[in-house]
Amino acid sequence: MDPVLRPGDARVESELRAWLAVQAAFAFEPQRARQLLDAVADPHRALAGARRQPTAAWIDAAIPRLAALGAVAVPFGSPAYPERLTALADAPPVLLVRGDPAALLEPGIAIVGSRAATAYGRECARRFARAFAQAGLSVTSGLALGIDGVAHAAALDAGGRSVAVLACGPETVYPARHRPLADRIRAGGALVTEFPPGTPARAAHFPLRNRIISALAVAVLVVEARERSGSLVTARHAADQSVEVYAVPGPIDAPTSAGTNRLIADGCGVAVSPEWVLEALARRGVARRPRPASPPSQAAERPRSEAEPSQGETTGRILAALRDSPCTRDELCRRLACEPRALARALLELELAGRITEDRDGRLRALSPARA
């Protein structure tokens, strides 16, 4: 099986047509699709168990639509299909992806929360997403207004990757005002959906989408949530999937914190800072995002240039700069003329070692050995 099926590739046309037919037939019965695929391991044979069959005309129309979008199909059982989704009893039979399918395989954290986010919630989402991205973790969310959109944008602004899981077909961006953001996510990560082309965003689709958001992540962070909130559905999916859940505490009289405070009372992790969550994940052995393999001419044995500082040299320069005066990450990057990803790795190492801290105003400062 090819890892991804590209519309327009004659070699995979028969296979692509069969998987699109399975997707259209079982989009709202993923558990039944999984049972059939486990039994027969072939999309052509699985279609025999479908209650309804898509027409050839529908598939004929879907393929050029996907080609125009630059979308690819990632079928169940493919090497490109996320292992974390494979564990689900209702794993989607097919994922349609715009952007880089490899983004679905990278370790990431889901950040979800209220659409009607407060200033406090938006700032928390921004701060956590930025820190996770700088630590090399992708940020997954649902492209909704409020916390979702802030988290996606902050991860991309920090030079990281983001994955948006859609509750509609691949050609639709919901809400429409997030089209520019969706373009940025596609260029710096992936837009993914289990729904076939032409599927509108409907209320019943969002709970289905939420199980994918949680399953793609190594942890779920709920920033703000009311007592009845879709974000709590994502948290429940995560708990069922053995994915750790963290919640940002909020004022006890704020409606948008009622759900998160309830999660904390029920025993989920308390997200008092990004560093606290990252340290907890580090104890679990969650690695930073692996880099793509280099071609032989640029392999790991390539000698480091004299202008390229080692990790130890970078951390030493950071500590020296912060002892002189606290500053933000952006200011530090400019002051040291350091490559952002190298700086992010060194900052994470220092934060986890207790050598530096981030103040409420976003400035980093060095801690004395006694305080560390």
CATH node for 311-366: 1.10.10.10
Q: What is the model's pLDDT at position 370?
A: 44
Integer Cα distance of 192 and 247 in angstroms:
25
- Which is nearest to 244 in space by CA: 226, 220, 262, 267? 220
pLDDT along the chain (372 residues), means of 10: 87 93 91 92 87 89 94 95 93 96 94 93 96 95 96 96 97 95 95 96 91 95 89 91 93 91 93 92 66 33 39 82 84 77 69 72 72 44
CATH topology of domain 102-283: Rossmann fold (3.40.50)
In eight-state DSSP terms, residue 5 is B
Amino acid 335: pLDDT: 84
Q: Residue 37: its pLDDT value, please?
A: 92
pLDDT value of residue 187: 94
Closest to 235 (Cα-Cα) out of 227, 286, 138, 308: 227
Question: Rounded to an integer, what distance in angstroms lies between the CA atom of residue 346 and that of residue 358?
Answer: 14
Tokens of 139: 């940020």
Residue 296's pLDDT is 32
Q: Where do we find the tokens 């930073």?
A: 288
- 43: preceding bond cis by omega (within 30 degrees): no
Domain positions in the chain are: 10-96, 102-283, 311-366
242 Cα distance to chain centroid: 17
- The angle at the Cα of 238, spanning 281 to 109, to the nearest 5 degrees, equals 40
Residues 6+ apart with CB under 8 A from 118: 224, 254, 256
pLDDT at 284 (0 to 100)? 77
Strands 108-112, 219-222: pairing kind = parallel
